[in-house]
Structure 1
Amino acid sequence: MDDLVGTQEPIIRLADPAEAVAALERAVPGLAALRLPASSDIAWSEVEAELGAVLPGDYKRLCELYPALEFNDFLGFAGPEPGHEHRWIRGRREELELIAEWCEEADLAVPLHPYPAPGGLLPWASSNEGDHFLWTTLGGPDRWTVTVASRNGGWWHYTGGAVQFLADLVSGVLEPWGLPPLRPEARKW
């Protein structure tokens, strides 16, 4: 049976994308060494037009500064690649089909729905064990929260942004609720 485990909140929500990335770099020693030599020129207007939504600034900043990353050999994060943005869009659409099935099968008191439903769930990362990290698309994109859909059936929310979620998860500030504890390690994925 699926259930909503609960909601975790950051002490302070990091609204500035640069501040969120800096928090992640502090949480993961050596992460800054993986930065791209120059900021990626991702065609965000193309991505967002195709998707039908403006994406959060912290996510876009992390994608511009870093290649695809894997945290602790568990959580994979990859943004659109310049010139191949359509692949990222296609990947999100495929993940949305899976998320639609999970939402349909979930036995939650308040049903969740995939994007593009109002407030729908939009995937931004996944684990190598089948966990999904999603945005709940309520309000403006920089107010979206994170929803975790665990492979073991537990669902939970984090009221900060995606990059702050990564920093808080890796640093141990968050209870991992159904996820393994993560060491502060990252590598190119």
Structure 2
Amino acid sequence: MNEYLPLIRGAAGVPEVRSRIAWSEIEAELGLSLPEDYEELLEGLPPGRFNDQFIDVRHPIFAGSSDRFVSGLKEFLGALKEGRDLEKALGDKAATHLAVYPEAGGILPWGRVEDDWIFAWKTAGEPSKWKSVAVSFEFNELYPLPGSMSQALYRLIIGDTGVEELDYLSEMQNFVQD
């Protein structure tokens, strides 16, 4: 079991659930394996948003099917690439260094804060070793997040990421189920 699942449930008041998610279908459609801690965490959480509805974690159950989950993710990745390319064209040097999956080592989103922050993995190496990052929607800020995706989410909920720009996310620790 994911060691951060009970901590996240306790910190945000998340109800206990057990979901079966078609990870093999999702991974086949994406063309890569996802980190095990993400899979275990989402099987133990209902779809929803954390901390006064700020933090939205991408959840296959909310999409209704693995096909819709993957197509929604691919659509979001396309929008991220367009945004990154626009920032590059405008001369933003930070954006020029940001790859978006399926580019080598590109970011693959696992959550977001509306039009403010993207929480993603940097897809370099084995999925169990992927690092989480927070990227601003303008692509001009990128911060490493601590540990695995589950640990990063827990730290975002309790306000212990070490990134001052993300502190506002922890002002109200709760969970709203979708």
Question: TM over 0.5, yes or no?
Answer: yes
Q: Partners in 1 of 2:127 and 2:151 — Cα distance?
A: 14
Post-superposition Cα deviations, 1:41-67, rounded to whole Å, max 9, x if no partner, equal 211111000001111111111211122
Residues 27/58 of structure 1: CA separation in 2 closer, same or farther (3 Å cut): same
Post-superposition Cα deviations, 1:147-184, rounded to whole Å, max 9, x if no partner, equal 21123632211241111111111112213443323132
Amino acid corresponding to residue 11 of structure 2 in structure 1: A
* Aligned twin of 1:35: 16
* Aligned twin of 1:175: 162
Runs of 4 or more, structure 1, over 4 Å off, are none
Q: Tell me the CA shift for residue 107 of structure 1.
A: 2.0
Aligned-partner SS, 2:43: helix
Q: Tell me the CA shift for residue 35 of structure 1.
A: 2.1
The reply to whether residue 89 of structure 1 matches residue 70 of structure 2 is: yes
Q: Partners in 1 of 2:98 and 2:45 — Cα distance?
A: 31
The reply to whether residue 77 of structure 1 matches residue 54 of structure 2 is: no
* Aligned twin of 1:8: none
Identity of aligned residues (%): 32
Q: Partners in 2 of 1:50 and 1:188 — Cα distance?
A: 27
Q: Calculate the TM-score normalised by the size of structure 2.
A: 0.83
Residues 102/146 of structure 1: CA separation in 2 closer, same or farther (3 Å cut): farther
The reply to whether residue 19 of structure 1 matches residue 3 of structure 2 is: yes
Q: Calculate the TM-score normalised by the size of structure 1.
A: 0.79
Q: Figure out how many residues of one structure are paired with residues of the other and give that number.
A: 168
Which of 99, 116, 120 lines up with 1:113 in the alignment?
A: 99
Q: Partners in 2 of 1:41 and 1:83 — Cα distance?
A: 12
Compare the two structures and name the one with the higher helix fraction.
Answer: 2
* Aligned twin of 2:148: 161
Q: Tell me the CA shift for residue 68 of structure 1.
A: 1.0
- Return the structure number with greater relative CO, CA threshold 8 A, min gap 6: 1
Q: Partners in 2 of 1:83 and 1:185 — Cα distance?
A: 24
Aligned-partner SS, 2:142: strand
Unaligned runs of 5+ in 1: 1-16
Unaligned runs of 5+ in 2: none
Q: Partners in 2 of 1:71 and 1:83 — Cα distance?
A: 20
Aligned-partner SS, 1:134: strand
Conserved 8 A contact 1:134-1:146:
yes
